[in-house]
Structure 1
Amino acid sequence: MGSTRGPISQFIERNYCHFNAAALVDAAKGYEAHLEAGGKMMVTLAGAMSTAELGISLAEMIRQDKIAIISCTGANLEEDIMNLVSHSHYKRVPHYRDLSPQDELDLKNNGFNRVTDTCIPENQAFRRLESHIYKLWKDANDNKQRYFPHEFMYKMLLSGELKQYYEIDPKNSWMLAAAEKNIPIVVPGWEDSTMGNIFASYCIMGEMNASTMKSGIEYMCWLADWYLNNSGGKGVGFFQIGGGIAGDFPICVVPMIYMDLRKKEIPLWSYFCQISDSTTSYGSYSGAVPNEKISWNKLDISTPKFVIESDATIVAPLIFAIQRRRLISVNQIQEHRFTAGYLTGSYWI
């Protein structure tokens, strides 16, 4: 995997030799080769990767320019900031598989919203953000200005108003890193996020105009322009974490440019990797193998293609750590719930 590696990378190369483990190594090498050849990378975030604290590894990837653009769900956009400002109020439920309907109701009545083993606090997370983002929405609405959902979030973060609430090291917030770098984000289907629901409620009550928030169609038009301007040379790779709209939406920009805008010279995605535990199946988009994307003008026959059928909360931080080539501490490894065991001090990944 490139230059001399430390004990963790050596361990991976020595032991991750077959099946999904080998796919992880191959995908990491492909990611690295793509960047070293001058390519750019889009990363797509589905599920609840922000609540899973992917920011610990993703933020550094952003700071080191290993990611050019992100597509994510509205939930991932907001939940990274929620973790930043209300982390101590979160509740972990390691026995979540054993919860009864009454247990779930008790969580609701105590102001918690459960995401697998983690419960997000309603008042300290959702409502805390609402009080600040509302002012930005209202100001834009009254001045007939329009922004994308992530642009409002960037404004809120860069204003410094949230610093009073920080409960984690801000270097572990990927949204803060993205705002400081001003990297582009595409947020398809933002309306189904909590902040999207809240904004919609203000529209229903007549306090906001829906047009104040730029739409998914505008995101697609913007992305087409971005792709046309950034797909030269080695091109743009596609690193997909999970399935769903975060990946489905942006990958379609290439066939749209090729087929509908009739720009036949447009390069296809030049690298593809998907981390997913979705079963490969017929008719399941998230479970489709990469070769299926060839007939849709998304990938070429020669595009490096990887599928890692595993838990993204385990796989993605490892691949990102390999790309970062920086000194990481065992505490950071433990933050991702890896078993550090006898290791102490700091190591080159």
Structure 2
Amino acid sequence: MTKGPVSQFIEHHYRHFNAAALMDAAKGYEAHMNAGGKMMITLAGAMSTAELGISLAEMIRQDKVQIISCTGANLEEDVMNLVAHSHYKRVPNYRDLTPKEEWDLLENHYNRVTDTCIPEEEAFRRLQKHLYQQWKDAEAKGERYFPHEFLYKTVLSGDLEQYYEIDPKDSWIVAAAQKNIPIVVPGWEDSTTGNIFASYVIKNELKASTVKSGIEYMTWLADWYRNNSGGKGVGFFQIAGGIAGDFPICVVPMMYQDLEWHDVPFWSYFCQISDSTTSYGSYSGAVPNEKITWGKLDIDTPKFIVESDATIVAPLMFAWILGW
């Protein structure tokens, strides 16, 4: 495939240090896919509010990613941007805000993520009433689903199309729902929609069991991994750290050590984009080799770490992989 201008720029200019690490990792991703491998992408941070969907959606459409793990915030915030984009408020001088100015944002129903404020009424509430109906309908039928499955149902129903404020091709959730690729959402309870669901449970309007749990995600992932790790295996592309990465990567040592299944392949490619300080005991700052000691990566697994801002690095790497 002939590379486009963005890829040509990267290859010509990105020769050393973190730039070279970006180039090496992107070429490693491409080689893994060309050899028939599969890839998991994990999303921590506020990647959806950063509108990573503009490039990630195309990665999904072109089969460059087979499974995603993300926080509940990234799951919902892509759809919130889809239905309320024009109501978002950008605050370029966010470092200068006083506590009083932050309070004023709250009073005006804006929740700030760095320089971007999410509009509560248009984003949260538009989504809430349609999700609630999905939860209620499933419970009435005695059915249970994962958080991402409920969101897929909501998106695919067409109920949200009346609110669309961006081109749906730039929504990674729309792309994922149309492809029906699996998403693992550990710790969904700490997201806005998780909090909303919990509020209905507290009010006795819904049962907690209607939404499947994290343990069920882990057991489902074990089955998926066993069915998909043959041949070249499954690679692991981690954006930032935290639960979105730590939860799914643990499925391999869980099967090997706790289930004592000794035919489980290690993850066959690993890349992390992070600006976390190495050391200090943080998972986000751990170098890839540490994962060898936990039974997650093999000695020979291709390992890359790009110590930079994921909002800059991930779209560039995706551009290379897509040939832009």
CA offset digits 1:238-267 (Å, max 9, x no partner): 000011100000000000011111111110
Partner residue, 1:336: none
- Alignment pair present for 1:74 and 2:72: yes
Matches within 5 A, 1:6-21: 6-21=4-19
Instruction: Report the Cα distance in structure 1 between the residues aligned to 2:312 and 2:143, rounded to whole angstroms.
Output: 41
- TM-fit CA distance, 1:223: 0.1
Distance in 2, matches of 1:311 and 1:322, equals 17
Query: Which residue among 21, 26, 29 is the counterpart of 2:27?
Result: 29
Matches within 5 A, 1:218-257: 218-257=216-255
1:171 aligns with 2:201: no
Is 1:278 matched with 2:276? yes
Partner of 2:201: 203
Q: Is the 8 A contact 2:274 2:307 kept in 1?
A: yes
Distance 2:8 2:42 in 1: 28
Aligned residues: 324
Listed one character per residue, the Cα deviations across residues 101-138 of structure 1 (whole Å, up to 9, x for unaligned) are 00100000011000000000000000110011000111
| 1:259 pairs with 2:227 | no
C-alpha separation in 2, matches of 1:244 and 1:285: 7
Q: Give the drift of 1:139.
A: 1.1
CA–CA separation in structure 1 for the residues paired with 2:11 and 2:62: 23
Tell me the amino acid that sits aligned with residue 246 of structure 1: A
Q: Counterparts in 2 of 1:270-309, with a 5 A limit?
A: 270-309=268-307
- Whole-angstrom CA distance in 2 between matches of 1:134 and 1:8: 42
| Offset, 1:6 | 3.0
* 1:11 Cα deviation after fit: 1.8
* Alpha-carbon separation, structure 2, partners of 1:77 and 1:166: 17
Can you give the 5+ residue segments of structure 2 that lack an aligned partner in the other structure?
none
Structure-2 separation of matches of 1:39 and 1:171: 25
Correspondence 1:55-66 to 2 at 5 A: 55-66=53-64
What's the secondary structure of 2:127's corresponding residue?
helix
Which residue identity is paired with 2:28? Answer: G
Which protein has greater RCO, CA pairs closer than 8 Å, 6+ apart?
Answer: 2
1:35 Cα offset (Å): 0.1
Which residue number in structure 2 is paired with residue 135 of structure 1? 133
State how far apart, in whole Å, the 2-side matches of 1:104 and 1:318 are: 33
Q: Any idea what SS the aligned residue of 1:285 has?
A: coil
TM normalised by structure 2 equals 0.99
CA distance in 2, matches of 1:59, 1:266: 30
- Other structure's SS at 2:24 match: helix
Q: Over aligned residue pairs, what C-alpha RMSD do you find?
A: 0.7
CA distance in structure 2 between the partners assigned to 1:72 and 1:7 by the alignment: 30
1:190 to 188, 191, 204: 188
**Runs of 4 or more off by more than 3 Å in structure 1?**
none
Q: Which moved more, 1:139-148 or 1:19-28?
A: 139-148
**For 1:224-247, what per-residue CA distance to the aligned partner results, in whole angstroms no more than 9, with x for missing partners?**
000000000000000000111000
The code of the aligned residue for 2:82 comes to L
Residue segments in structure 1 that go unaligned for 5+ positions in a row: 326-348
Q: Which residue of 2 aligns with 1:112?
A: 110
Deviations 1:257-314 (A, max 9, x none): 1111111111000000000111101311110000000011100010000000100000
